[in-house]
Each structure stands twice: as structure tokens, then as C-alpha cells.
Amino acid sequence: MSSRSVQYSTNPLLASKTPIWRSQLIVACIALGFIGLVVRTAYVQVVGNAFFRKQGIVRFERQLDIPANRGRILDRKGMILASSVPMPSIWASPEEMDADEAQLRALAQLLEMPLSELQTKVSDTRRKHVWLRRQLDDVTGKKIKELSIHGIYTTMEYKRMYPQGEAAAHVVGFTNVENIGQEGVELTFNTHLGGKNGTRRVIKNGQGQVVEGVGDMVPPVEGKDLQLSIDSKVQYFAYQRLREAVLENKAAAGSVVVLDAQTGDILALANYPSYTPDKRSNLSGAQLRNRALTDTFEPGSTMKPFIIGLAMEKGLVKPETLIDTAPGKLNMYGMTITDAHPHGTLSVSEVIQKSSNIGTVKIAMRIPPKDMWEMYTQVGFGQKPQVPFPGAVTGRLRPYKSWRPMEQATMSYGYGLSTSLFQLARAYSMFARDGEMAAVSLLKRQDKVAGVRVMSTEHALQVRNMLHMVTGPGGTAPKAQTMGYSVGGKTGTAHKLDGKIYAEKKYQGFFVGMAPIDNPRIVVAVMIDEPSNGRYFGGDVAAPVFSQIVQQTLRMLEVQPDMTVKPEVVAKAEVESF
């Protein structure tokens, strides 16, 4: 039978009555569903409100940091050594990226980034935020903004700038891209300089764009300025003269320390090789080290004035006491101590002037080891420098009870102990301050600080007079003489240790002294490491640097010349003993 002939209106199924319970079940299900929605709504809005609010915050509310402006680093006269300037940083949201190849190519060129690297970064949709380049210059940032690429954003960040460049790099140090100190003063005083970032809460839409602010903004606490004792002009001049000396003598490195003898302020800490703080690619550890504070060496003949001063304090000798140094060799405990030239009989003053090892040893062996150790300790050898700087070394000075007689002898002329150039400069400030030792400072101080007496004024002045003789005719450092100013100091030349033995042809030459000699204003220490251009004695490689720095620094400090005629420089310095 054809389906078209069926009469649906007369179908027996339609004629049957629907059970009442079925309609009731349907109504009940609808009612239960509605009640369930009401209960769920009440739970979401009332009972579980905290959970769902938290989920909303997680998905759409963000806390943004408001960077604090890092404090400036200033020199003693207020010149800027480090400051922060706002610069644009570029980032991408891969989910939002919409750029053609021409736009990406132009962006890569402005970012100085390979196109393939840029494409890899902006195609990583697993990340919502990708840094492309941080702390660009304003011109480049503006050009990138003009590309109008959807998904590329600009954020302003602070970048650290260092106007003094490589001259002050080892003092100031640097920060990383997050503005956290990594080296030097930037690291030591990071909390003081850094301040505290502020915060603000915002609502972002699905595309990561800020829609509105939420709640109160917490303003940033700006970093505080820091004023150092460093004089930027003295620092720059010292660095330039040091650099010239290192290159001229074909040396491996060099360091200079300049102290204000009256206040204890550090006026300069210069090192070469150096680096530019805001251009640090391909740097080596040798460039980063502040050698004046972190490197140690055996100080050689620069130790002799402390022995002579101590012997006079003990009443063992006077400046005019005669010491027999003939025949230029002295056999002790199976070893031979020599002078570069035989001098015969010398006065104590001439022992310093001629830098006689034999004369110094004969005097030192009259001194109890304990007294000698105490003198070295009181002037800072073997002690941690009280200066806030990362990596400042202690040096080595063994307890006197472990000294053998031969070790006491060699330590009297600077072998068997080690020190940094900074420690050596501070130790010599005792002679400049008439026998007192005062704390030094990397932060500016206004007045002369009280010191601790180590040596009587009488004997400190007598040693200072001997140091003046060193720079005159017959001394080991006539090249230290300075136009218009009287100077005094001591040369030192030492073999370098190569493992556990002394290298035959590796030396360090140094000179440490003060000026003007009658009322010293500054103490200057110079070290030239591994000079290899035919000269290596401290009087030849370090003393000329001392002379130039003293003359320029005293003029900058407006110290009146105390000499009216040009000092007569001996044409050829006498060869110095070790």
C-alpha cells in the first residue's frame, strides 16, 4: 500500500491518551533545572564569590611595576659619575602579532636583529610577552612606533649612563638591564641607590591591553644620590697618565691610588686596562678587576721605611747611625742577600736613599719579630681594608711566631708578605700624617679625621726627610721630582711569582710617595705590572707617573707650590736594589 494513502489523523496511536505522569515528569525536570540554575547563581554570586573573583583577577587583572629612578653617583664636587635616563624598550605579544614581511624586515633592521631571529620570537604563541630589545635610543624607538605593527609595544625603562666612561669604570661599576648593581659602587650601595619600585593594578582585556586602573597606585620610592670622595678630574688625569705609562712600557697592566692625606678621602682609583661601563660585550675578568684593591703583590723595597722608623722608635738607630753594607753581599742562613751596587758604609738615612737591602736587614734583625709584626699590622698590612668595595683583599702577613730568621730578614725588604696597592698607599699616609693612621673613605668627608698614633711625630718626620732624599741626587727616584713641589717617596721593584717560584723576567715596579714634603696634602701610589720595554725598576716606570699626577693634582686642589725653582733631575737614575 502506498504511504500517501495513510490517514494520520485517524491513526490509533494519536487517539490514545498520554499518561498524566509523563507531563508531570517533564514539568518537574524543568523546575529542577531552573532551581539548579538559581542555586548555582547564588553559589557563584554569594558562597563561592571569592574563588570566582580570584579567577577573574588571575585572568584579567594585572599588577604592573612602576620603576623607581635610581639615584645618581656624584664625585666630591657634584659632577655626575652615573645617572639614569628613560629609554624605550620594545616587546611583542605573539598572540596579537599582525605584520607583513616588509614590516618585519624593517623592524628587524631597526632592532639590529636577524630577520630569522625576530620571526622566531614573534611566532612563539606560547608566550604572551617577549622582549625584543631593551633600552633603545629615543630616535630608534620613535621609528619603531611609526611602523604601527599590531602586537608590538613600547615600555619606558631607565638606562644607566656613565659620563666618565672607562676612566672611572672600576670605581663606579655598572648595573644590569634590570638596573641592579653588578660591580663597584653600583653593587656596594645598590640598596641605597636603587630605591623601591611602585605598583599599580590594572584590568587588561583579552588582547592584553590595559582597560582601566583598579585601586590605588603605590608610588615608587626614588633611589638616593651618593656622593663619593673621588675627584673626577684627578681620576681622569691619573687614568690617562697610567694608560700612557702602561703602553709606553709595554706592560700588562697598571694601577694608581691617590689619597687626601688630610681627610683620608680617596681621590682616585685608576686601573688599566679598563672598559666602558655601558658597552660591556666581550669583556674579560682582567678588564673588570679593580686591581688597586683586588690584586696583591710583594711590595719590595717600599717596606724599608717602616723598618727604619720602627728601629728609631725602639732607640736602636738614629738617622746618622752608620751601617756597614760592604762588600755588597751578606750570607745568612744559607742564603745570600745582595745590593745592586756595593755601597760600603752608609748612614741610616742613606740606607733608605740608596735602597740598601743589606743595611735594612742588619737593622731589622735587631728588632724582635713581634714588634716588626705589630708595626706592619698597625699600618694595615694583612688587615681587611675598611673600605666598602667588593673584592677588596686582605693580603698576606703570617703570624710572627711562625717566622724563621731568614723570613724576618726578607720581609724587611718586602718579600714573604703581600699587599694591595691601596693598602700600601694607606700605610704611607702614616708618614704623611706625622705618625698617625686614619681611616680612609670612599664617601666624601669634609674635615680632617682623627687618627691613631703609630709612630712619634719626630720619627715620622725623620723618615719623611729620608723619603725626600730618595727623590734627590743620589737617590733611586729622581724621576719622581715635580715642578714647583717638593716630594718624597720610595721605589719598589719585585720579581713576580709564577706558581711557587719567582719568574726570572717578570717584574712589578712601584713608587709610593707624598707631596709637598713638609706638609703633605696627598699620597700617591703607582704600580706598573710586567713592564717589558727594557726598563722595569720602579724609579724608571712608576716614578714618572707619580711626578705627573702629583703636579696636576696639587694644582687642582689649589695647593701653592713650595719650590720656586725647577728641581734638578739627575740624568740617569742609579739602579735600584730589590
Distance of CA 563 to the CA centre of its chain: 38
Question: How far is Cα 272 from Cα 530, in angstroms, rounded to an integer?
Answer: 13
Residue 273's identity, in one-letter code, is P
Residues 494, 517 contacting (CB under 8 angstroms): no
* Residue-by-residue DSSP string for 76-111: TTS-EEEEEEEEEEEEE-TTT-B--HHHHHHHHHHH
Residue 526's identity, in one-letter code, is V
Q: Is the dihedral of CA 77, 79, 80, 81 positive or negative?
A: negative
Q: Return the half-sphere exposure (C-beta side, CA atoms, 13 A cut-off) of residue 348.
A: 24
- The grid coordinates of residue 47 equal 558562597
Distance of CA 216 to the CA centre of its chain: 39
Residue 301 appears among annotated catalytic residues: yes
Residues 301, 428 contacting (CB under 8 angstroms): no
Question: How far is Cα 514 from Cα 522, in angstroms, rounded to an integer?
Answer: 6
Residues 392, 293 contacting (CB under 8 angstroms): yes
Question: How far is Cα 268 from Cα 525, in angstroms, rounded to an integer?
Answer: 10
Bridge-based pairing of strands 335-338 and 226-227 is: unpaired
Which of 83, 84, 232, 301 is an active site residue?
A: 301
Other CB atoms within 10 Å distance of the CB of residue 228 = 24
Which helix (H) or strand (E) segment holds residue 214: the answer is: strand 210-218
Question: How far is Cα 299 from Cα 285, in angstroms, rounded to an integer?
Answer: 23
Q: Specify the 3-state DSSP secondary structure of 427.
A: helix
Active-site residues: which are they? 301
